[in-house]
Amino acid sequence: MKITEVKSFLLVAPRDLHVVKIETDAGIYGLGEAGCSTREFAQHGAIEHFRRFLVGMDPMRMEHIWQILYRSAYYEGGRILTAAIAAVDMALYDIVGKALGVPVYQLLGGACRERIYGFITLPSLSDDRCLEQAREAIAAGWPAIRFAPADPTFLRSPREDATLPTVFDPWPCVMETAERFTELYTQLEKHVPLGIDFHHRLSIAEAATFCQRIPKGSLAFLEEPIRCENPDAYSSLRSMTDVPFAIGEEFSSKWAFLPYIERGLVNFARVDVSCVGGLTESKKVAGWCEAHYVDLMPHNPLGPVCTAATVHLGAAVNNFAWMECLPELSESESAKDVFPVVLEREGPYYLLPTRPGLGVEIDEDAIEKYPFTPYEHPHLSRPDGSYTNW
């Protein structure tokens, strides 16, 4: 079997998606999804480079192809390249699974569980409906809940109202989020693991203050409180709090995860299959995490292909907590139009996939109905005008 074509599609359904389709001379195709959001044009360019030598290769050689894609440019890696590699890697696993007549998780070692649970994300803690929605989520069986901080800039999601605030003031956010989270926590009659995602917007002092202002043991995970370029920063924050950290969605290789894993700085590994380099690299990250008793909590912010790959990963690794589940994206009407066959979710979990490959099919004709228009995340500033992360 040989690769005959590599296609790269940019679309909006309902968020920006970069989907790669690899075709073979056996009539089998595979799908992948690249995940460096808002940099889709750069990813698309990388796929065009890869296409020149992927055509004619044997898609069964997933590891070999991964090594070539990562190392052949001499300047190895980087988020753009590993996101593009991820899309190719997923598509290869999809092809091999279909060729062998087995779901992808069988290629990763077989099933470790019968259900792959997700966690649900609720609105900003500044939303007065948060407590009631948390109660409803717990009653519906969701095993964990994540909240956005109490700040109007966290109400914004891609392509929403452009009039929402673009100034983020960290200290009022820290104080109000701690106050509202404490109030919600004390009013919940039944508890599940709760987390908050700060989108790496805080300084060490701000993050530490937040942790010190909430009830001890109330927060199961603090996600991306500070930027991740320097592990020493997380070491400093760790010395000030015992709240578990959920980090890693921005990491683009196993090497980026390594110091965080070995130094005990990550408690939930937020590996992103569509950013870290695909299933090939994700499985290696999972192995390092297992050696240090760290569970995966995969980042999954994209469409049905990324979701399917994440489900298969979750099925096949023993050290798995929950995956991010955003049905408003992967199960939207536009997504269903482009992807008429997807994995079916049953409330808070996915059952083991049964179809060969990833279990997702694409309608190329439908893509034309959802033309790609570039989107840029809001450029936020602090009150003094200095730039801060979205």
pLDDT digits (tens, 9 = 90+) for 125-180: 999 999 999 999 999 999 999 999 999 888 755 565 566 788 999 999 999 999 99
- One domain, residues 159 and 40: no
Average pLDDT of the chain to the nearest whole number:
96
- Residue 162's pLDDT is 61
Query: Do 85 and 131 belong to one domain?
Result: no
Looking at the domain assignment, is residue 182 inside a domain?
yes
204 located within any domain: yes
Is the same domain home to 130 and 244? yes
Reported as a single tens digit per residue, the pLDDT across 194-212 is 999 999 999 999 999 999 9
- Contacts for 202 with CB less than 8 Å, ≥ 6 apart: 170, 174, 210, 225, 226
Which residues touch 248 (CB under 8 Å, ≥6 apart)? 228, 256, 257, 260, 266, 269, 270, 271, 272, 285, 299
Tally of CB atoms within 10 A around 114:
9
For residue 73, what pLDDT is reported?
A: 87
Same domain, 232 and 322: yes
Task: Tell whether 98 and 65 lie within a shared domain.
Answer: yes
Write the pLDDT tens digit of every residue in 278-322.
999 999 999 999 999 999 999 999 999 999 999 999 999 999 999
HSE-CB of 180 using CA atoms within 13 angstroms: 21
Q: How far apart are CA 84 and CA 383, in angstroms?
A: 36
Task: Say whether both 180 and 327 belong to one domain.
Answer: yes
Record the tokens describing residue 379, joined without a space.
């450029």
Q: For residue 357, list its beta bridge partners.
A: 103
Same domain? 306 vs 264: yes
* Domain ranges, residue 24: 3-104
Domain boundary among 42, 75, 104: 104
Question: In the predicted model, is pLDDT for residue 72 greater than 60?
Answer: yes
Residue 336, CB-side half-sphere exposure with 13 Å CA sphere: 6
- 165 vs 20: CA distance, rounded Å: 35
**Predicted pLDDT of residue 321:** 99
Partnered with residue 31 across adjacent β-strands are 21
Pairwise CA distance, residues 316 & 183, whole Å = 38
pLDDT at 122: 94
Fill in the amino acid letter for 90: M
Which CATH number characterizes residue 25's domain?
3.30.390.10
92 with 191, same domain?
no
Do 9 and 149 belong together in one domain? no
Number of domains, the chain: 2
CA–CA distance, 224 with 364 (Å, rounded to integer):
36
**How is residue 352 annotated by DSSP?**
P
- For residues 112 and 318, the answer to whether their CB atoms sit within 8 Å is yes
CA-closest candidate to residue 276, choices 260, 303, 255: 255
| Contact (Cβ atoms closer than 8 angstroms) between residue 116 and residue 323 | yes
Q: Among 73, 104, 135, identify where a domain stops.
A: 104
Average pLDDT over residues 240-268: 98
Rounded to whole angstroms, what are the CA distances from 221 to 17, 174, 217, 306?
28, 16, 10, 23
Q: Are residues 19 and 150 in the same domain?
A: no
Burial class (CB in 10 A: 0-12, 13-18, 19+), 206: middle
232 in a structural domain:
yes
Boundary residue ending a domain (50, 72, 104): 104
User: What would the mean pLDDT of 97-111 be, rounded to a whole number?
Assistant: 99
pLDDT at position 160: 58
Whether residue 350 sits in one domain with residue 220: yes
Same domain (yes/no): 96, 235: no
Q: Check residue 75 and give its pLDDT.
A: 87
Beta-carbon contacts of 106 under 8 Å, excluding residues fewer than 6 positions away, are: 97, 100
